[in-house]
């Protein structure tokens, strides 16, 4: 067992050596409680004033909502593009495209490689980091009824839960973040027929 200190709450936590061997070079930054949402970053603790140049940046949207839409994700290291993907749907919603972008972002980062995934959808980030664990415990139901976009919520939640080396974080939209704007442009390529 190896001991670590959570960067969010300051608590000490341990991980088995076998888990650490699965992810060579990975240093965990959060305890299980913070990763599952009880200590997750909120909008006010986001990167709203920063312009990161390393990570995976995602965006998605529909216009009108619902209507035709697209999603995009770009993986960047030290300001250089490592990989990018984008896609579109003829009849969708903003939330479905944001969740799809996050699911596709998981495929861009090699397993075992630590990275931060940024989304400008606070709803999508909070869905995965705060609410999905409770919905799963209730049989994928909200206290007030059905979980919207359940197919994508489950895929995104399970995807991030299975990748402990990835951190999901909200970033403010259209706040001069170069790579968030790039992801937005990828998400809107459907408008140009790409």
pLDDT, tens digit, 9 for 90 and up, residues 171-190: 988 777 889 999 999 999 88
Q: Give the mean model confidence (pLDDT) for residues 106-134.
A: 96
Indicate the pTM of the whole model: 0.75
Q: Under CATH, domain 40-192 is a member of which superfamily?
A: Ribonuclease H-like superfamily/Ribonuclease H (3.30.420.10)
Query: Would you call 84 a catalytic residue per the annotation?
Result: no
Strands (E) in the chain, as ranges, are: 2-5, 12-15, 55-62, 67-77, 80-92, 115-119, 141-142, 145-146, 166-170
Instruction: Report pLDDT for 191.
Output: 76
- Out of 17-21, 99-103, 159-163, which region has the weakest mean confidence (pLDDT)? 17-21
Query: Would you call 67 a catalytic residue per the annotation?
Result: no
Percent of the chain at pLDDT > 90 equals 65
Contact 153, 126 (CB under 8 A): no
Hey, where are the domains in the chain?
1-31, 40-192
Q: Give the mean model confidence (pLDDT) for residues 99-113.
A: 97
Of 89, 104, 165, 184, which is the active-site residue?
A: 184
Q: Give the mean model confidence (pLDDT) for residues 20-28.
A: 64
Instruction: Look at residue 83 and tell me whether its pLDDT is greater than 90.
Output: yes
Query: Would you call 174 a catalytic residue per the annotation?
Result: yes
Of 98, 104, 159, 165, which is the active-site residue?
A: 98
Query: Would you call 60 a catalytic residue per the annotation?
Result: yes
Instruction: Look at residue 143 and tell me whether its pLDDT is greater than 90.
Output: no
């Amino acid at each position: 067992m190896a001991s670590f200190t959570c960067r969010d709450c300051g608590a000490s936590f341990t991980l088995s050596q076998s888990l650490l061997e699965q992810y060579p070079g990975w240093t965990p930054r959060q305890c299980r409680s913070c990763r599952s949402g009880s200590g997750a970053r909120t909008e006010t603790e986001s990167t709203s004033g920063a312009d990161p140049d390393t990570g995976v940046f995602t965006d998605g949207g529909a216009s009108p909502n619902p209507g035709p839409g697209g999603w995009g994700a770009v993986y960047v290291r030290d300001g250089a593009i490592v990989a990018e993907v984008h896609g579109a749907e003829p009849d969708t919603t903003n939330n479905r495209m944001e969740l799809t972008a996050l699911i596709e972002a998981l495929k861009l980062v090699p397993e075992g490689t630590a990275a931060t995934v940024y989304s400008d959808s606070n709803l999508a980030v909070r869905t995965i980091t705060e609410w999905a664990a409770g919905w799963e415990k209730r049989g994928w139901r909200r206290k007030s009824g059905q979980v919207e976009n359940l197919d994508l919520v489950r895929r995104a939640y399970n995807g991030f839960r299975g990748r402990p080396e990835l951190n999901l974080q909200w970033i403010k939209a259209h706040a001069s973040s170069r790579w968030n704007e790039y992801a937005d442009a990828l998400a809107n390529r459907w408008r140009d027929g790409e």
